[in-house]
Structure 1
Amino acid sequence: MTGVYIASSDAESDKRTVALGLTELLAGTVDTIGVFRPIVAEHGRDPLVETLRRRYEITDPYEDCVGVSYRRVHSAPEEAMAEIVASYARLAARRSAVVVVGTDYTDVGTPTEFAFNARVAANLGVPVLLMVSGEGRNASGVRSEIAVVQAELAREHATRITTVVDGVAPGRVAELRERLEGIAYVLPDVPGIGAPTVRDLQDACDGRLLFGEGARLTRDTSGLEIATMSLPGLLDRLSADRLVLLSADRAGSLLPALVAAHSSPDFPSLAGVLLTGDTEMPEPVWRLLTGMNVRLPVLATSLDTYAAATRLSSVRGGLTPLPDKKVESAVAAFGSALDGPELLARLRVSRSESVTPLMFEHTLLERARGDRRRVVLPEGTDERVLRAADLLLRRNVVDLTLLGPARKIRARAGELGVDLTGVDIIDPEHSELRERFAREYASLRAHKGVTVELARDTVAEVSYFGTLMVHCGLADGMVSGARHTTAQTIRPSFEILRSGLVSSVFFMCLADRVLVYGDCAVVPDPTAEQLAEIAASSADTAARFGVDPRVAMLSYSTGASGGGADVEKVREATEMVREARPDLELEGPIQYDAAIDPAVARAKLPDSRVAGHATVFVVPDLNTGNTLYKGVQRSAGAVAVGPVLQGLRKPVNDLSRGATVRDIVNTVAITAVQAQEPRT
């Protein structure tokens, strides 16, 4: 088991970025990860623990992830230390790695707090990742601070494994890195990580939500705007992500206008509106807003405007679990500042033989980031697509192009608090590429009687436009399907990018391994020849993504135990694959239990190298495949990534219309990795 203790030398360091980045690094390397905070507040749940538990799907109960309260440390320090050690030992016994996050300089008491954290680390027997604030310190000051705390660590018999200097202004990063090379990693200040969200401010003033969607409460705020002037003056003063404080007795004259301005692309997008005071909103105004389908959070508090502004102006971020975009910003900053392999080597962490969903996803993102490609997303106004784009950009995974009306996309992004900096936005209806694509499409489909005049209308449809961008080399791949049907998404690919039989696979991420199922989405009833081609393509796709292909040709019969047309088709396809691809480990016909369960395999096919250990499962038809993957997904809690299309010259992948933001992120990463491979 590997453990590491994050401790800061003063109150200025923000441990959240390092805690998230370190947990991300370990979660991509080992099969089971834990998080532990030795001391937490007595009431409520620690927001960082909750952020880490949610982000990394940590199943340990909250109570197992924390030690004792600050009050317990004050009243009985020796007993508290014993309880911390015992709680950590119980957690560590069932986890491959545990990230321990020290105190936040809120209650133990400076200057003795670092010594206390060092003592805890020594008693837990884990090394310390030291954090030193770079705010207001030059290289000499950082060295002096490290020397002081190193002496403190030695007194407490704790070991420092590395040092991170955080909170460094971007303009000072290069200089500090040069002067501290070999001494400490330098982590730039992460924009917005400390900004309070709307929910932080809501909790601080005991606010209640009147209008708007609760999901918008995770949006960062950039400050407060007190509405004391007339409407023209107020509109002129608005800036992005502000929370507007508005006396409830003025809501009738100003609130509808603020809601309208928030939805307009010509005004900054607000974080929310807080109505102050106990005055009830006039009924006609309430009725008007109810009919406007307000998405902007409108909150109400009993505090008057002065009291609310005074209380909210001192609120810091982190009172609630961090939203996804802050998590992604923190992970990206950590990944770019620290040498992950070097840190893992210092911690003596070896890669687990098991492959968890988090490990698979981590590897996907790392591979995509290592050779960035451009992916086009035709559904540019969809909320899930916009949120996924924001996360992908924060992690520097890909370059993106969104299709759709630019004003509408930017207005929607502003409303959601999504940052599209660096994204190309193209409106197919009015793009100068439309004529070029019309001529190209007409040339490709001339044998079907398609003229340039007909093609002009066709290529304005976003799926065709995106596919032609890929065909013409203006994008490396396309992902669609959040709003479009599978047919709408892949029909243009069949017409423009097909290089052979188009089929698909799903990556099924189980608790401890990744399996590949094909074809569960495209070919309804393949012939033996098509089934053989699907098997070979699926094995190649598996290998491309790090899954050692051992192919099981599934049937209702194993070996020579049964007959019938369906079994004969699988048997014939198996022989075709063996002849065409002697390099593949292959078994068929074989039943699913014999393919995946070593005990059943020993009874049914004792001499098979694949039986009981299959990683690629080729189904005989679409009916079987769709039922199989959905059954495993629901009953085993597997994460299904796909469908990933095969048989195209360049990658285009389809989403389920029920796709989550996480599904979209994973599919875009897969598409980018596919685009890195040489294709025929």
Structure 2
Amino acid sequence: MSRKLSVLTVAPVEARDAVIKGLTQILEEKGQSVSLFRYLTNERTLQLGEGMPTGATYKAFLSDPDAKMTEIVEKFRQLDSDAIISAGSDYAFIGGWDEFGTNLDIAVNTGSPVLLVLSNRHGCPCQGVRTALATAQAHHATVAGVLVVDAGNPERKASHLKEELAHLNLSIAAVNELSADTAAQTLREAFGDQLDALLDTQVSGVVTPLQFQLDLVERARQHKRTIVLPEPEDDRVLQAADRLLALDVANLILIGDEEAVRARAAELELNIDAAKVISNHDPELVEKYAAEFAKLRAKKGVTLEQAREKVQDVSFFGTMMVYFGDADGMVSGAAHTTAHTIVPSFQTIKTKPGTSIVSSVFLMLMPDQVHVYGDCAVNPNPTPEQLADIAISSAETAVAFGVDPKIAMISYSSGNSGSGPDVDAVKEATAILQEKAPELVADGPLQFDAAYDPHTGASKMPGSPVAGQANVYIFPSLSVGNALYKAVQRTSGATAVGPILQGLKRPVNDLSRGALVEDIVNTVVITAVQAQSVEGGSLAK
């Protein structure tokens, strides 16, 4: 893992570039390769060296901040060195935006700790440091250290700052003058034995929505799987296919008339050349799928002729592709109901061994971490046994997406503070969960505030291994789960990714009929990642 450090200021500070050159020299003298990266530029001559990678220009960033933030982080991730030193923006005096906040957001999304460089010329450094640190905390940035330049009396300023900020465990130094030629030696003397701690600072426990999504894309790209999309008559699906193929995250199969599908893509100026288009009326496949479907549903009285008709429905056809291993997963629902999408998988793919129920979760991408909410889309009133199984499946999903699960079984009371049938059901579900999966960290019943907030959790449930630190929330009913995920999404700005179906032998995921192209892309990427943990081949016996 590369060392990372972003050198940020809250206003133009001439000494910043000298700081970066000094840190680069120090690292290179330790035998490390160093890459330099500049967040934003106004296209003037770069003092840190021609050809230095730059995230974006001010003009481009301000025209589309979200897209350019993604582009900046992607460029940063392409750097391959022992250490990466980044320069924040130069403060080009463009009004109407929070430039320091943007710098902090870039640092967080690139996983870089921050060295704050402040000038004594801009006023009392103690007040400036406190304000900058409060802003950094609000943006979830990790501050590794503080350097005050133009200090006047460096020893006095550093001593005062260390006393003021002793509780923060920061590397703190102050210097008077700092030139590029002598910066390395000046920084060594100023930071002393704190220098290694500064350079070794790591960011931990922070996962932004952008980081999470880019990580998923990288995972999907590394071990590509084949995903079937049975609704190419919907333009959103074709647009998503174009983007997915450009990202190179999955092999795609579209179900429909090839001539019509490709003609519509051409009309929309989309490139789906790399996708396969397979007709749901292909005689050979219809016979293959119908014979197996009739066999699977024989006890329900399904004849071969009925099976032939059924499997030509695009949802059943796509599901049978997954069943036979002709595809690794399916994403549908942009133009069909949830039932139309998932019922075929209940009838054919069925549940994994040891799992009694198919359920769903939403990945809630909070500003600095990922939470898992279940069940919010499938089961209206699960029994205690089913709630326990939903919790186990949700924990498995959490692990698959890089979340170390701490499971809160949610109710309207915490611990033994309340009673009633609904609370008793959650208590029973928790006991079953702990018996079936004692290795999981779980507790309940817990109220949402006790599960989420450390102070409330410590007050209501002292000693709980989950209270105040939960990241997997299991709700007692679909009504509670669905209402709460939407409330959190709308009021907190969290990104809700899902629903993600869990418990099936092969991944099949449902889309909202109001899904955006971005939602379809995200769901396909998630399905591809899910499929990486599933053994391929046919499920036919």
TM interval, short-chain normalised: 0.5 to 0.7
Q: Distance in 2 between matches of 1:351 and 1:597?
A: 22
Distance 1:538 1:395 in 2: 28
Match of 1:38 among 39, 42, 46: 42
State the Cα distance separating 1:545 from its structure 2 match.
0.8
How many aligned positions are there?
Answer: 388
Question: Is residue 505–residue 517 contact of structure 1 (8 Å, CA) maintained in 2?
Answer: yes
1:662-673 pair list within 5 angstroms? 662-673=518-529
Choose the corresponding residue for 1:657, options 503, 513, 516.
Answer: 513
Following the alignment from structure 2 to structure 1, what is the Cα–Cα distance between the partners of residues 532 and 255? Answer: 23
Matching of residues 8-23 of structure 1 within 5 Å: none
Give, in whole Å, the separation in 1 of the partners of 2:463 and 2:91: 52
Task: Verify the 8 A CA contact 2:406 2:442 in the aligned structure 1.
Answer: yes
Offset, 1:353: 2.4
Q: 1:597 to 1:508 in 2, by over 3 A?
A: same
Conserved 8 A contact 1:37-1:49: no
Matched, 1:446 2:450: no
SS state at 1:488 partner: helix
**What is the alpha-carbon distance in structure 2 between the residues aligned to residue 535 and residue 98 of structure 1?**
30
Question: SS in structure 2 opposite 1:456?
Answer: helix
Q: What does residue 381 of structure 1 align with?
A: 233
Summarize the alignment of residues 140-179 of structure 1 with structure 2, pairs less than 5 Å apart: none
Distance 1:157 1:473, change over 3 A: farther
Tell me how far apart the structure 1 counterparts of residues 339 and 248 of structure 2 sit (CA, whole Å): 31
CA distance in 2, matches of 1:533, 1:594: 23
The one-letter amino acid paired with 2:490 is R
Indicate which of 499, 513, 519 corresponds to 2:369: 513
Report the CA distance shift for 1:443/1:658 in structure 2 as closer, same or farther (over 3 A). same
* Contact map agreement 1:504 1:645 (CA 8 A) in 2: yes
The 1:550–1:430 alpha-carbon spacing in structure 2 relative to 1, beyond 3 Å, is: same
Runs (4+) off by over 6 Å: 87-90, 155-159
Q: Find the aligned partners of 2:217 and 2:64 in 1 and give their Cα distance.
A: 20
Within-5 A mapping of 1:75-90: none
User: Equivalent residue for 1:318?
Assistant: none
Residues 42 and 58 in structure 2, CA contact (< 8 A), matched pair in contact too: no
Q: Is the 8 A contact 2:226 2:528 kept in 1?
A: yes
Q: How far off its partner does 1:552 sit?
A: 0.3
- Residue 473 to residue 90, structure 1, CA distance change in 2 (3 Å): closer
1:542 and 2:398 are equivalent in the alignment: yes
Say if 1:480 and 1:443 are closer, same or farther in 2 by CA, change over 3 A: same
Tell me: CA distance 1:92–1:636, structure 2 relative to 1, closer, same or farther (3 Å): closer
Give the 3 Å change call, closer, same or farther, for CA 157–441 of structure 1 in structure 2. Answer: farther
Question: Matches of 2:200 and 2:269 in 1, distance apart?
Answer: 40
Return closer, same or farther for 1:583/1:656 CA change in 2, 3 Å cut-off.
same
Instruction: Give 2:242's match in structure 1, choosing from 387, 390, 411.
Output: 390
The alpha carbon displacement at 1:443 in A equals 0.9
User: Pairwise mapping of residues 314-353 of structure 1 onto structure 2 (< 5 A)?
Assistant: 350=202, 352-353=204-205
Whole-Å Cα distance in 1 between the matches of residues 238 and 324 of structure 2? Answer: 25
Instruction: Indicate the residue corresponding to 1:96 in structure 2.
Output: 107
* Structure 2 residues not aligned, in runs of 5+: 9-36, 45-56, 72-87, 111-148, 150-178, 184-198
Q: Distance in 2 between matches of 1:361 and 1:98?
A: 11
Specify the alignment match of 1:566 in structure 2: 422
Name the residue aligned to 1:435. Answer: 287
Query: What is the aligned partner in structure 1 of residue 327 from structure 2?
Result: 475
**Equivalents in 2 of 1:677, 1:635: separation in Å?**
34
Task: Output the CA distance in 2 between the equivalents of 1:493 and 1:576.
Answer: 27
Q: What's 1:493 paired with?
A: 345
Matched with 2:208 is 356
Q: Relative to structure 1, is the Cα distance of residues 352 and 39 closer, same or farther in structure 2, using a 3 angstrom cutoff?
A: farther
Structure 1 contact 49–65 (Cα < 8 Å) conserved: no
- Of 389, 395, 398 in structure 2, the residue corresponding to residue 533 of structure 1 is 389
CA distance in 1, matches of 2:294, 2:252: 27
Identity %: 49
Cα displacement (A) at 1:47 = 3.4
CA drift at 1:382: 1.3
Q: CA deviation at 1:65?
A: 6.8
SS at match of 1:669: helix
Residue of structure 2 in register with 1:646 after alignment: 502
Counterpart for residue 585 of structure 1? 441
Cα deviation for residue 351 of structure 1 reads 5.0
Q: Displacement of 1:35 after TM fit?
A: 4.2
The answer for the alignment partner of 1:54 in structure 2 is 67
CA contact (8 A) 2:461 2:467 kept: yes
Task: Return closer, same or farther for 1:362/1:455 CA change in 2, 3 Å cut-off.
Answer: same
Q: Please, which of 275, 278, 289 is the counterpart of residue 423 of structure 1?
A: 275
State the SS of the aligned residue for 1:56: helix
TM-score calculated relative to the size of structure 2:
0.67
Alignment-derived partner of residue 136 in structure 2: none
Look up the equivalent residue of 1:96 and give its one-letter code: A
Within 2, Cα distance between the matches of 1:460 and 1:383? Answer: 21
2:333–2:510 CA contact under 8 A, matched in 1: yes
Shift of 1:609: 1.3
Structure ranking higher on relative contact order (CA contacts 8 Å, 6+ apart): 2
Alignment-mate amino acid for residue 619 of structure 1: F
- 1:371-416 deviation line (CA, Å, top 9, x unaligned): 1100000011211111111111111100000111212211211111
C-alpha deviations, 1:285-319, integer Å up to 9, x for none? xxxxxxxxxxxxxxxxxxxxxxxxxxxxxxxxxxx
Q: Conserved in 2, the CA contact under 8 Å of 1:518 and 1:618?
A: yes
Tell me how far apart the structure 2 counterparts of residues 459 and 387 of structure 1 sit (CA, whole Å). Answer: 26
Paired with 1:443 and 1:647, the residues of 2 have a C-alpha distance of 23
- Give the match for residue 609 of structure 1: 465
SS in 2 for 1:532: helix
**3-state secondary structure, aligned to 2:514:** coil
Secondary structure of the 1:46 match is helix
Match for residue 464 of structure 1 among 302, 316, 338: 316
Q: Distance in 1 between matches of 2:321 and 2:66?
A: 40
| Aligned-CA RMSD value | 3.1
Output the TM-score relative to the length of structure 1.
0.53
Contact preservation (8 Å) 1:508, 1:514: yes
Q: Distance in 2 between matches of 1:654 and 1:93?
A: 36
Distance 1:644 1:97 in 2: 27
1:555 counterpart residue number:
411
2: CA distance, partners of 1:158 / 1:412: 64
1:432 Cα deviation from its structure 2 partner? 2.9
Amino acid at match of 2:59: D
Q: 1:410 aligns with which of 262, 266, 273?
A: 262
Q: Judging changes above 3 Å, is the alpha-carbon distance between structure 1 residues 98 and 633 closer, same or farther for their aligned structure 2 residues? A: closer
**1:157 deviation in Å?**
7.4
Q: Distance in 2 between matches of 1:636 and 1:90?
A: 18
Distance 1:406 1:67 in 2: 53
2:503 aligned counterpart, secondary structure: strand
